[in-house]
Amino acid sequence: MPFEELYRSLFPSVSDGVFRELKRYSEANPYLEKWLYASAFEHLAQGDIIKALPACYINKDGEVKRTKVPLPAILLSNTCDMSKDCGKIRKPSYTIVPLLPFSEEEFGGSKLQSIKDNTVTDVLFLPNVPTLSGSYIAQLDTACSVSSEYIHKHVGSNRTSLTRNGYYFFMAKLSLHLTRPENDVERCDT
């Protein structure tokens, strides 16, 4: 199912304007990078793609594992949470998702096309990121936190921001992955 139809089926109240933008994304998919990316804003923004940040995860044994080298990452934290108030950082940490280089050889047939079409809800495909060489994927279930102080100190202009349309697309992907309606799950009222 095309991404915009999947989104519309899960969120029927989506406005016609947002739906038209998602449909335009589908039609412009071969040139997605012209539609997604903007020059870096002066401030950090949700969806900014950072050239290199350390990342970690907890393995099956409960051990914290750290990447050997900093990886590209996308900021998940809300823009207002990453702003400064009178020079003071608002939050102690920001949530990121590491980006991995996209390799067509890693995925077979329909999975490959689904990733490139951005119809896989837990994977965000980012083609030809301007500040990086090549295309990347964000596996949205690999989020981690990084010190906000570290990010403000080390990021600088080594990043790409999203256009307005790119931002709405990013929000759609996060919504589909994190808040899509659950089927056949009973919840108690009290």
The total of other beta-carbon atoms located within 10 Å of residue 3's CB is: 22
pLDDT in tens, the chain (190 residues): 566 666 676 667 777 777 777 666 666 655 566 778 999 999 999 999 999 999 998 889 999 989 889 999 999 999 999 998 888 999 999 999 999 999 888 887 788 888 888 888 899 999 999 989 899 999 999 999 999 999 999 888 789 999 887 888 888 888 888 876 667 777 777 7
Distances (CA, A) of 85 to 46, 79, 91: 17, 13, 10
Q: What is the pTM of this model?
A: 0.83
Using DSSP's 3-state secondary structure scheme, residue 54 falls into coil
Q: If phi over 0 gives left and psi between -120 and 50 gives alpha, with beta otherwise, what is residue 128?
A: left
Give the DSSP letter string of 83-97. Answer: SEETTEES-SEEEEE
Quote the CA–CA distance of 27 and 171 in Å, as a whole number: 19
Distances (CA, A) of 5 to 15, 26, 94, 96: 13, 10, 32, 28
